[in-house]
Structure 1
């Protein structure tokens, strides 16, 4: 709230003093009809991989609003809100809010880009449309679904860019350093429901339900854990970091690599919220292939640790997820194919809390553009996964889940 008040007051003050202020409101409305062959959704504390329950659904899957203000050549601010009406977890709230300074490049092509506020780490190559939507598929990849759920923070991001056109070169380079807080429970949901595939971004005021596994019951090692995880809380007053290096070959593609560490103190627990130490490396590429085909690929590998106040490892997991997406666009048509592989490896000995998981996913999507801002899209999602913890809820350990979706998306 303090961050939002700071942004609002800054924008208001400058809008009075400066004449060259530009206001811009953009958004997306995504209405879907679908059918899922699955079990109880992770959004309700189940271990289903989709954001939908078993059966048919009609939903407002995203109402995204992006309010942008530009004053002068360098200063701007952005507030993003998202809303959902799906019968499971309806809501409306802020998902991003930041102020930005991006100066004019120097004669040698060096440019500084600084952002402060509630933001995503600079990782996703998939979610590049309005309000962090994906222009490719309705459901995000498992990697980016996790970012949407619990990998966000309040922090400061500083990027130094070297633009090749000032050096008569086709190659751009950038280096980003991010410092952040309010992310101490990052890793909890990845441990307790595993990788998911959805298009839902957690709202800043939301908490996330945890599956009622035996270790959470009275007498279990996790009985002190709250029934819901708060993904944007600050418990240990420590600053985490993320670094990213990126190379772009203009009109051909880009490659990036980064490392994330929330630098958490796992000896702290407050009101049922444990601090998780989460670290991961990631790489990604976006490339133009022959015949007008675009390729996007990302891979993430890391670990997450939660201990009791004496330092005993209660949850100790390694994890990884990767996807390759191929997209072909012609005239008013677009076809997308995405394949994924994901896993969680449980390294601790906590009874009745098996977090092991292994799975693969296939997504097929067809998009038709009715006019410039209006798209009709059909999508099929298939997830084949093995998760022993489903036995705690009397569900199949090995499960094949499917989802069919028909969407009308309007960007404005």
Structure 2
């Protein structure tokens, strides 16, 4: 087993070059610090933490409109039983924007979130609607982080009537993510905001004998993803396919899962209302000594949010399946966030599969 996090270290060195070269005027910082007291649940699908604290920072160097770099750092008080899970790198990539006569070509090289989520749309892959992401995006945050190359092309449609807007086609080739699919089967679906760090090993079973990692490359196979997107000023529709092309074999404490997954997402904004929904389905498989076993995976959510002058209120319904197990959750969140302020205060309640949790969050943006 070898790690695919080496490119991240190289990118980190590249990111530090402009600072040392005196190009600090091209460097931008953003991020937040949060504290979150909460009522602990007994376990999955909800967190058993009673207090959470995080510090996240994004560092962007953009010396020109065509070239940039991004580094996403995270520190937290809880590692949730993982190894190397308290402080580290979430994302590190280079990007280029190339204008063409008919549109724009966008390239990324490094470790990044796959641009699929209609929920986690804010900086640093945060959601503006709730404290905790849906089961689908909680899983993607924990177990999917392509380390590779992404290319997308955007073309503006004119004189197309109701279809006026922008169409985008994208594709990704990546290493790592061989264990993608382990968590929903072995641990179960969860609603949380534990974004995996590069090099982190996150436990997938109660005994702590098996782990999952977004950056470990075990079988020397490239995974791939493809997506298509249409959007205008009010609506978005996106389709994504992911195939990690894993060999489904065990490598020490990591068990590869061969996962093929599809995601369809949409959102619509009208005045101060926003509706968001995603549905996803696919299969995952492992091949222990006694043969190959395949499981179905499904997860969907529907979210409705209303923005007021200083407040936001949101509700979300989740449904998820792994093999023969089925579950559902309901979330309600209320935020106080002045338009030009740096402090956000939020209250969230979740009920999921008989478990309940309430969380109060204080977040300071910088």
TM-score (norm 2): 0.90
Distance 1:5 1:210 in 2: 26
1:179 positional shift: 0.5
Question: How has the CA–CA distance of structure 1 residues 27 and 20 changed in structure 2, closer, same or farther, with 3 Å as cutoff?
Answer: closer
Distance 1:276 1:96 in 2: 23
What are the residue-to-residue correspondences of 1:307-386 with 2, within 5 Å?
307-308=287-288, 312-313=291-292, 315-345=293-323, 356-370=324-338, 371-384=340-353
**Ranges in structure 2 where 5+ consecutive residues have no aligned partner:** none
Residue 262 of structure 1: aligned partner = 244
| Alignment of 1:406 onto 2:360 | yes
1:246-268 CA-to-partner distances (Å, cap 9, x unmatched) read 0012x2111001111111122x4
SS in 1 for 2:191: coil
Distance 2:9 2:80 in 1: 30
SS in 1 for 2:131: coil
1:288-329 CA-to-partner distances (Å, cap 9, x unmatched) read 13x52101100110110000268x11x421010000110100
Contact 2:202 2:213 (C-alpha < 8 Å) held by counterparts: yes
Residue 47 of structure 2: aligned partner = 51
Residue 283 of structure 2: aligned partner = 303
Distance 2:251 2:13 in 1: 32
Contact 2:18 2:24 (C-alpha < 8 Å) held by counterparts: no
Distance 1:300 1:319 in 2: 8
Distance 2:279 2:58 in 1: 28
1:230 positional shift: 3.2
Residue 88 of structure 2: aligned partner = 93
1:31-88 CA-to-partner distances (Å, cap 9, x unmatched) read 111113x31x3xxxxxx212224xxx2321x311101000222110001011211485
| Residue from 168, 173, 176 that aligns with 1:174 | 168
Distance 1:130 1:253 in 2: 20
1:341-362 CA-to-partner distances (Å, cap 9, x unmatched) read 11112xxxxxxxxxx3111110
Residue 127 of structure 1: aligned partner = 120
What are the residue-to-residue correspondences of 1:270-309 with 2, within 5 Å?
270-289=251-270, 292-308=272-288
SS in 2 for 1:189: helix
TM-score (norm 1): 0.81
Distance 1:309 1:86 in 2: 35
Question: How has the CA–CA distance of structure 1 residues 179 and 18 changed in structure 2, closer, same or farther, with 3 Å as cutoff?
Answer: farther
Residue 153 of structure 2: aligned partner = 160
SS in 1 for 2:220: coil
Distance 2:18 2:200 in 1: 31
| Alignment of 1:66 onto 2:58 | yes
Residue 80 of structure 1: aligned partner = 72
SS in 2 for 1:338: strand
1:186 positional shift: 0.8
Question: How has the CA–CA distance of structure 1 residues 273 and 5 changed in structure 2, closer, same or farther, with 3 Å as cutoff?
Answer: closer
Contact 2:105 2:153 (C-alpha < 8 Å) held by counterparts: yes
Residue 196 of structure 2: aligned partner = 202
Distance 1:175 1:309 in 2: 40
Distance 1:359 1:227 in 2: 24
Distance 1:331 1:197 in 2: 28
Question: How has the CA–CA distance of structure 1 residues 149 and 13 changed in structure 2, closer, same or farther, with 3 Å as cutoff?
Answer: closer
Residue 145 of structure 1: aligned partner = 138
Residue 352 of structure 1: aligned partner = none
Distance 1:322 1:273 in 2: 27
Residue 232 of structure 1: aligned partner = 215
Query: Which one has the largest radius of gyration?
Result: 1
1:124 positional shift: 1.0
Distance 2:258 2:52 in 1: 36
**Ranges in structure 1 where 5+ consecutive residues have no aligned partner:** 42-47, 214-224, 346-355, 385-399
